[in-house]
Every structure is written in structure tokens, then in C-alpha cells.
Amino acid sequence: GGDGGEGTGDGDLKAKLGAGAVDEPSALSPDIIILDVGGMTCGGCAASVKRILENQPQVSSASVNLTTETAIVWPVSEAKVVPNWQKELGEALARQLTSCGFNSNLRGT
């Protein structure tokens, strides 16, 4: 049963963001984290980044764009109760990716 993510209502948003049709995803939703991710050279790298992010307990789902070298992260609701959660979680996720070989930074820092 790993396919229970369908029908959550944010699939269309993810599709639009993943297609690169939106230059500033942060304008769409204040509840996402955008990471700049370096070191991805192929689809396998992008899949690894997605897997690394989604294995974190604070992450509900992630979308990785190899072309723009970005990752968009949708956190679990519990992660949003901490003050400055976007900065704290974003920097923690960037450190995790960097330690795995994908030099990453929280967008806007």
C-alpha cells in the first residue's frame, strides 16, 4: 500500500511545478520549502535526491527537477509548528543532501 498519496488535492500543483511552468513556486504556497540542489547529472541522481528527502520524517513528499536543479519539499503538518520551520527544516534537509554528495542550499539564503 505505498500508493495512498493519490487524491490529496495537491497533485495538480505538483504537476505544474514539476513541469517548470512556474518560475517562483514560493509565490504559490507558503507551505513548501525550495532547495537548490547541485551535483545531479542524471535522472538517477534526481531519484536519489527525492528518495533522500522523502526518507526524512519531517517530509511528506518531494518533487525534484533535474533541469532547474531544484527540489520542492512538502513537509508534514507537524513540522510547521516550530518557529522559523522553513529555514530550520530547509537548512537541515540541505545539510542532509550535501552530506550525501548533492551540494544543496535553502533557496533564498
pTM exceeds cut of 0.85: no
Domain ranges of the chain: 28-106
Angle at the Cα of 52 from the Cα atoms of 30 and 54, rounded to 5 degrees = 50
The Cα–Cα gap between 93 and 106 comes to 8
Which cell numbers in the block locate residue 69? Answer: 536543479
Q: How far is CA 34 from CA 6, 31, 49, 98, in A?
A: 22, 10, 13, 15
The Cα–Cα gap between 77 and 21 comes to 26
24-50: pLDDT as tens digits: 444 457 889 999 999 999 999 999 999
60-86: pLDDT as tens digits: 999 999 999 999 999 999 999 988 999
Q: Note whether 73 and 35 are within 8 A (CB).
A: yes
In CATH terms, 28-106 corresponds, of 1.10.10.10, 3.40.50.300, 3.90.1150.170, 3.30.70.100, to: 3.30.70.100
